[in-house]
A and B are shown apart, each in its own frame.
Chain A
Amino acid sequence: MPEQAFKKRRSVPFLSSLQFKYAVSYLVIFAVVLLLLNTYPVIASQDLIFGSKENSMRSQAAVFSSALMELESLSPEQVERVMNMLDTTGLSHILVTDPAGLVLYDSLRQPSPGQDAQAPPEENESGDIPVEETAEMAAVEAAAPAEAPVYRYALSQEVVLALRGYDNVYSVFRDGLFASSAAMPIVYRGMTIGAIYLYEEDAALGSLLLSLQHNLQIISLVIAAVTLVMSFFFSRLLTTRVGALLRAIRIVGEGEYGHRLQPTGRDEMAQLAEEFNQLTDRLQTTEEVRRRFVSDASHELKTPLASIRLLTDSILQTDGMDRETVREFVSDIGREAERLTRITEHLLTLTRLDSLPPLETEPVDLNDVVDRVLPMLSPLAEARGVALEPDLHPGCVILGAPDELHQVCFNLIENAIKYNVPNGQVWVRTYLDDGQVILEVADTGLGIPEEDRPKVFNRFYRVDKARSRAAGGTGLGLSIVRDAVRRHSGWITVRPNQPQGSVFTAGFPLYQPIQEGGDAP
């Protein structure tokens, strides 16, 4: 059947396919990894820098506060003198206030050495708060005496908290900069005489962090692209082999038992393909056996029916047939009918054995079974002039089904009688051997050629068809024996007898009852 028909019949939607699920699982894992890659290093770096900045700012503020607290009271001149002696490298802005928040020192308004002492323009970050002097204020100042003081209060939350006695440090990454501030009260003999406020902007570290973040994003994009491609590639590799297996199963399911896979690689998929091939081998063998059996059974059933038909036609179409001839023909019809009956019974027995539920077993003494079978076959043996020689040893108990064991003994002994020579002998022996019960049936018949011995247990197999039919055989007796022996966990073999004949040997596990008060032996 064309592969296109399979695809058309049961195509899997892509979003439901194994390939898509496999690829998505890859992508989800890598997405989580990339998310961690882009967040954790950056956050960890930020936290590290924040911690370092805060410690540094706190230390610097403490130094300045300690230096200023030596002054009993803070005045702009005194504060300026002290601050000029301190190292303010790296700080963008320094404020010192009095307890009311009045600015006593502002590093942004201090003149550089050699320059006029003019305050730099005030920075205004809030548009509606005119920190810079308005025209009105300038006019007021111009009209005022030349030395009128200018008051300025630093009313940020950091300064207010410091003036209320709380050290505070703050660091934030903003606009590519690390902006850090620290404010601390200046305490003299337990009294807050002012506050010191430090502010720093570190662009270098900010740039480094942004660069790190940017590089991680680029790396993430590259990894994401590669992952996307590779995930579909690897998922395709896997699902292609699964698809091939699926197609093979469908082909075999349609009856193409000869279809096989080509296992590649050494992974579980390769093992699955090998198992599939072995299974299909067994399936093919079973199917061939079944076909042969049906063919053989049909032939075996047709043969006696054909004979019956021929004989009846002869009787009907021959006018004036003499009585003896008619009698002879009718006898032949009777024999063929009996043969047909036996074949049917044996087929039913085989079918029953094939479909039997687990064996209901009980301890059975094989010698008892043989003792029941021998009298039943004695008339046949006498008619053939064959002597039956039993040699039964005690203790041959097995766990089995009495009826099936009876069938085994009956078939073996019957065969030994039917395929014997006149004045021949049949020995029936039972004995124990290394934990097994052995049943041995030997005859002095013509024997079985070596090339036929492996096949004699096959259904409908006959060494000599003509002789078998003459003896009333169906070709199923030994098949029944083998199947029954196997159901009892036993084995059966055939070998030539000396000087002539055959020996059939069957072995069964010896029944060993569980002893009271101890483990089973």
Chain B
Amino acid sequence: MKRMICLPLVLLLLLPLAGCRGRDPDQSAQGIQLYFLSTLAHGPAIVGEDYTGGDDPTPEQLLSALLAGPQGEDLRSPFPAGCYLRSVSLEDGLLTADFSEAYGGLTDVSLTLADYCVTLTLCQLEGVDSVSITVAGRSMPYRSHQILTPGEASPDGS
């Protein structure tokens, strides 16, 4: 009997919920973020994930965490299999990250996405204003420019 009383009340409460559809991806982020590729169909192609390795990480630590891949289910790594960090150097605000040959296999938008996952991640560090990415010590010639800054990436297309 009580269920019979509750049922019409529940149905009436459902009325205001009519017409709801669609949602936005949530991108609230705090602390240092590791940037990976989103697997969702819409929204930003690059999404950040909290770095849990402690405060004040070094560039090597951040890049290691980045190369290790994401924890979240809706994220995936931008790096090709077998890619590893060869060296990192910082001079006058420009951080140069040298990756293995596997990184050189990236082209077009895949290269762009990987470049800016690295750039957005590393430029959060104090003293890092821009990033240069090399492959086995060499620049990638088909990249439009070699010095990458976070302001160049518009993750949501606007």
Contacts and interface: CB of A to CB of B under 8 A. Distances in A.
Interface in B6-55: 7-8, 11-12, 14-16, 18-19, 21-24, 27, 29, 33, 38, 40-46, 48
Contacts, number: 153
A34 to B, nearest CB: 6
| Residue of B21, B152, B154 ringed by the most chain A CB atoms within 10 A | B154
Please report whether the interface of chain A is mostly helix, strand, loop or mixed according to DSSP: mixed
A137 interface: yes
B151 A134 contact: yes
Contact of A28 (B11, B42, B109, B157): B11
A306 to B, nearest CB: 65
Contacts of B155: 126, 129, 155-156
A150 to B, nearest CB: 8
Contact of A153 (B8, B23, B48, B152): B152
Contact of A156 (B16, B29, B45, B145): B45
Contact of B15 (A128, A132, A220): A220
Interface string A145-177: 000010111111111110110001010111000
Contacts of A213: 18-19
A153 B15 contact: no
B81 interface: no
B153 interface: yes
A159 B45 contact: yes
A160 B109 contact: yes
A197 B151 CA distance: 20
Contact of B154 (A122, A134, A161): A122
Given A100-B144, A154-B157, A174 B18 contact: no
| Residue of B24, B113, B151 ringed by the most chain A CB atoms within 10 A | B151
| Residue of A35, A46, A95, A122 ringed by the most chain B CB atoms within 10 A | A35
Contacts of B149: 137
A131 B21 contact: no
| Residue of B4, B16, B22, B29 ringed by the most chain A CB atoms within 10 A | B22
A95 B157 contact: yes
Interface string A22-47: 00100110011011001100110010
Contacts of A16: 1
A496 interface: no
A213 B17 CA distance: 11
B120 interface: yes
A39 B156 contact: no
A159 B157 contact: yes
B1 A15 contact: yes
A32 B157 CA distance: 43
B112 A28 contact: no
B150 interface: yes
Contacts of A31: 7-8, 11-12
A265 to B, nearest CB: 29
Nearest to A214: B19
A93 interface: yes
Contacts of B5: 15, 24
Interface string A423-447: 0000000000000000000000000
Contacts of B79: none
Contacts of A181: 42
B73 interface: no
B18 to A, nearest CB: 4
Interface of A: 15-16, 21, 24, 27-28, 31-32, 34-35, 38-39, 42-43, 46, 93, 95, 99-103, 122-126, 128-134, 136-137, 149, 151-161, 163-164, 168, 170, 172-174, 181, 192, 197, 199, 209, 213, 216-217, 220, 224
Q: Which 4 A-B pairs have the closest CB atoms?
A: A156-B157, A172-B22, A31-B11, A38-B18
